[in-house]
Structure 1
Amino acid sequence: MINNQSKIFVAGHKGMLGSSIIRILKKKGYKKLITIDKKKLDLRNQTSVKKFFKSKKIDAVIIAAAKVGGIKANIKYPANFISDNLQIQTNLITTSYSCKVKKLILFGSSCIYPKHYNRPIKENQIMTGVLEETNESYAIAKITGIKMIEAFNKQYNTDYICLMPCNLFGPNDNYDTQNSHFLPALVKKIYLASKKKGKKKIVKLWGTGKPLREVLHVDEVANACEFFLRKKTKKSLINIGSSIEMSIKNYADLVKKKIDPEILIKFNNDKKLDGVMRKKLNLDLANSYKWKSKMNFSKALDEIIMDFKNSYR
């Protein structure tokens, strides 16, 4: 069993999710966390990964490392999204097995599921329909990782799982206008517009504003990671989400209300930039293991808005 004396390698420790996992594990008393800068270890290089694992004698691996981005980045760099993610996952999963790693957790996102489901999506609905075209490359890579883990568990009786969170936000988020996800993009665009002089404070947003999105603070996912790190599960794919789901327009209106109610929001109504219309996850499986989100969304949103304001002063 994994405990707070186990050697745990967190791949991708500088990203939003990885840094949150490090924070939460330290807070919970884990003493032997292993990290390495990507400049020193290219996770796409199998030989280097094997050498690193053998030198560290790792007990558990958490894969928070990935090539990620928003809709425009996914459209522009599909080869990078599929190639980089396949290499990272394959190297870490196969090396974990060969080095007798006891527990492995792979993270993905809700985009692995078919695009045309209007009801909350269950884990067993993976690969039952077509994917959203804009992030197909990333989704296929993650689906491959999930199926690899299922295969290793079946053939070798390994204790590897995949946690699939909804849209995440929180400290250390990516606020790049072209590559960020929708919530940090809203915070940045609306805050910067609030600083403009004059009466016409207009924020132009992509798409129609109609798609629904479920959101979760990254620390909630880090807590779920620690929870399932210690738990033996019968299923290898588990959704991690929240009760918060609104349209992009409603999120924009809420952020505007908190930052500057005078701002005017305009959508460009390009349906191609909407992505899927709904990506709500069914959380029955996670709840059956006694995990449930405790997020206070309004408070969490206030915190990230304040963090962003402080970083741009």
Structure 2
Amino acid sequence: MLAGFVAEPLDRDAPFYVAGHRGLVGSAIWRQLSGAGFTNLIGKASGELDLRDRDAVFRFFAAHRPVNVVLAAAKVGGILANSTYPVDFLSDNLRIQVNVLDAALEHGTHRLLFLGSSCIYPKLAPQPIKEEYLLTGHLEPTNDAYAIAKIAGILHIQAVRRQYGLPWISAMPTNLYGPGDNFSSEGSHVLPALIRRYDEARRGGIDTVMNWGTGSPLREFLHVDDMASACLHLMEHYDGPEQVNVGTGEDHSIKEIARIVAEEVGYTGNIEWDTSKPDGTPRKLLDVSKLRASGWEPKIDLRSGIASTIAWYREHVDVVRT
């Protein structure tokens, strides 16, 4: 614990910048903060503020001087996107992080939460994955560039704590899903990809749906609104150099996830698996003991979360990222 941090509710009227407030994660955090009574939320779309532009980021922080910041902005994508464009994922994310963190330091941000991803951990880490397993083994090759960028962000937060004594923290969520997700055929993660695939198959009367891989990998999924709740909880209750895992502590096979999605979508056709396509990491389950010890628990179960995400997708199908 740093001397300047007191575990108490954040000032609801202080300037609070949510970087990436239009994305899946940032929009959920914005909803959480709005619902919790924060009155001075600040957000800029990428068209208004390119976080890769260092001068623009510093001008923004000089003008608004946010007391609190959540860094949720990032270039994200699934296995295909990460494998195809590793330079983009490394370069864009490093620039976003360095610019925002340096500007926040320069202009007096007191409380900052950096959001990463569970892909920071070694591909073959013992399960469930503890925070201490960071940097103990080789990364999953299909998303190692993105993971390296996020690891750099964690170390940047730790360096600020050591050099400047600021109570900045990092949180590493598991696989997220929910309203505002990316449903595109090339850039989406597995769960929104399945939702789109099965819903299109149901509407098109397609007899067979083909999924990537064997379906055997085990994955943990957390609704993005639960993630946002955990982030505010950590900002008000946690202070430490080590990143905090954010998840449910439970995992499911991709085949099981596919079955639930098919049932909730109403697809009754055949499901096949293209085993020539990569599975990625065999299992990725986070140890969430630290988060639960701080007093937080998830509230949204997987099936109801998937059902509500399907409903959101259908309502917004004409405007979602497809």
Q: Settle same-fold status: TM greater than 0.5.
A: yes
- The one-letter code matched in structure 2 to 1:24 is Q
Q: Distance in 2 between matches of 1:258 and 1:40?
A: 38
Which residue matches 1:294?
Answer: 299
Q: Distance in 1 between matches of 2:122 and 2:59?
A: 38
Counterpart check, 1:270 vs 2:279: no
- Which of 95, 108, 113 is the equivalent residue of 2:121? 113
Q: What is the CA distance between 1:117 and its match in structure 2?
A: 2.1
Counterpart check, 1:226 vs 2:207: no
- The one-letter code matched in structure 2 to 1:212 is L
Q: What is the CA distance between 1:243 and its match in structure 2?
A: 3.6
What are the within-5 Å matches in structure 2 for residues 1-313 of structure 1? 2-197=10-205, 201-270=207-276, 273-312=278-317
| DSSP-derived class of the 2:80 partner | helix
Q: Distance in 2 between matches of 1:223 and 1:261?
A: 32
8 Å CA contact 1:61–1:103 kept in 2: the answer is yes
The Cα offsets for residues 69-114 of structure 1, whole Å up to 9 and x where unpaired, read as 0000001100000000000001111111111110111111110000
| DSSP-derived class of the 1:230 partner | helix
Q: What is the CA distance between 1:288 and its match in structure 2?
A: 1.6
- The one-letter code matched in structure 2 to 1:255 is V
Q: What is the CA distance between 1:218 and its match in structure 2?
A: 0.2
- The one-letter code matched in structure 2 to 1:139 is A
Identity %: 39
Q: What is the CA distance between 1:289 and its match in structure 2?
A: 1.1
8 Å CA contact 2:216–2:255 kept in 1: the answer is yes
Gap runs ≥5 in structure 1: none
Which residue matches 2:3?
Answer: none
Q: Distance in 2 between matches of 1:125 and 1:255?
A: 32
8 Å CA contact 1:4–1:32 kept in 2: the answer is yes
Task: Report the number of matched residues.
Answer: 310
- Relative distance call for 1:80 and 1:120 in structure 2 (3 A) is same
8 Å CA contact 2:202–2:267 kept in 1: the answer is no
Q: What is the CA distance between 1:137 and its match in structure 2?
A: 0.3
Gap runs ≥5 in structure 2: 1-5
| DSSP-derived class of the 1:145 partner | helix
- The one-letter code matched in structure 1 to 2:119 is C
The Cα offsets for residues 243-301 of structure 1, whole Å up to 9 and x where unpaired, read as 44111111111111222352211110025x21101110000111121122122222111
Q: Distance in 1 between matches of 2:72 and 2:240?
A: 22
Q: Distance in 1 between matches of 2:291 and 2:307?
A: 27
| DSSP-derived class of the 2:37 partner | coil
8 Å CA contact 2:215–2:253 kept in 1: the answer is yes
| DSSP-derived class of the 2:237 partner | coil
Q: Distance in 1 between matches of 2:282 and 2:62?
A: 45
8 Å CA contact 1:44–1:84 kept in 2: the answer is yes
| DSSP-derived class of the 1:6 partner | coil
- The one-letter code matched in structure 2 to 1:246 is H
8 Å CA contact 1:159–1:232 kept in 2: the answer is no
Q: Distance in 2 between matches of 1:243 and 1:123?
A: 13
| DSSP-derived class of the 1:195 partner | helix
- The one-letter code matched in structure 1 to 2:188 is S
Between stretches 50-59 and 234-243, larger displacement belongs to: 234-243
Q: Distance in 1 between matches of 2:316 and 2:56?
A: 36
- Relative distance call for 1:288 and 1:235 in structure 2 (3 A) is farther
| DSSP-derived class of the 1:216 partner | strand
8 Å CA contact 1:118–1:278 kept in 2: the answer is no
